[in-house]
Structure 1
């Protein structure tokens, strides 16, 4: 049997941080069937800064019962056509921001979309898992604990 010594094990659900967006922790659903990761966002507005296109948006990181919104800005990487879980083709804004999972940190592309009807506000796709050298244990959840960002280590 092959072993995966160089890969980190994650569960089907994990706590992640997006420190560049001011998000210390949010629950994410791991989905190896999705290529790109997705972040629940609304009020998306493009603007220009130093000759580059940026987006300003409201990230929704709480639960349906306990909503929490974070005002965010990020450089726009591209637009991507994505087939949503209900089969509809959507054109979405794509940003790249650092993701923290456990004690690891790496850049990940996120599409911005409405995930209001979804239980988890973040979907972690297979591109992020490949870049982070992760392997999924489907029988586990929250294997990595809370993300170790500078802010969470201090407080």
Structure 2
């Protein structure tokens, strides 16, 4: 029996939790074409915390909703050049944080970038999902419990 037969199946979009950042839910596009994962962030500022560089940033976790803002902080892991979907290269801050999807929770590296013009507040790239899930591109929210905000947002799938 192959290992893939034991992997949970996720849809092309899922609700995630980023508990260390105080984000209880964010709709993510599962993007196996992207190597890394990205989170919509703005007002990104670095600061020194006991001799270690950290980053503070704001997140609007829901599409088309700028009223709810989460202010998050994390240790800055790196600054990396990332090629965006439009082909341009951008230097982005990278953090390491925990993501929760369904019953699984694990650490991921996450680039921070302004995704205001994009349809999803977060992309979950293939490094984050490989050997953990199989992706069913024909379905959505296979591992996501429904909440009232999610029910309202599911009609706006993008």
- Is 1:69 the counterpart of 2:69? The answer is yes
In the other structure, the counterpart of 2:153 is none
Q: CA RMSD in A?
A: 1.7
Q: CA shift at 1:103, angstroms?
A: 1.2
Runs of 4+ in structure 1 displaced over 3 angstroms? none
Give ranges in structure 1 of 5+ residues lacking alignment. Answer: 148-155
- Is 1:9 the counterpart of 2:16? The answer is no
Note the alpha carbon deviations across 1:55-112, whole angstroms, 9 max, x for none: 0000121112x22221000000101100111111000000010000011100011100
Give ranges in structure 2 of 5+ residues lacking alignment. Answer: 147-158
Query: Residues 3 and 105 from structure 1, CA distance in 2 versus in 1: closer, same or farther, beyond 3 angstroms?
Result: closer
Question: Counterparts of 1:2 and 1:105 in 2: how far apart (Å)?
Answer: 22
Question: Counterparts of 1:2 and 1:20 in 2: how far apart (Å)?
Answer: 33
| TM-score (ref. length: structure 2) | 0.87
| Count of residue correspondences | 145
Q: How does 1:88-103 map to 2 (within 5 A)?
A: 88-103=88-103
The question of whether the paired residues in 2 share the 8 Å contact of 1:101 and 1:146 is answered with: no
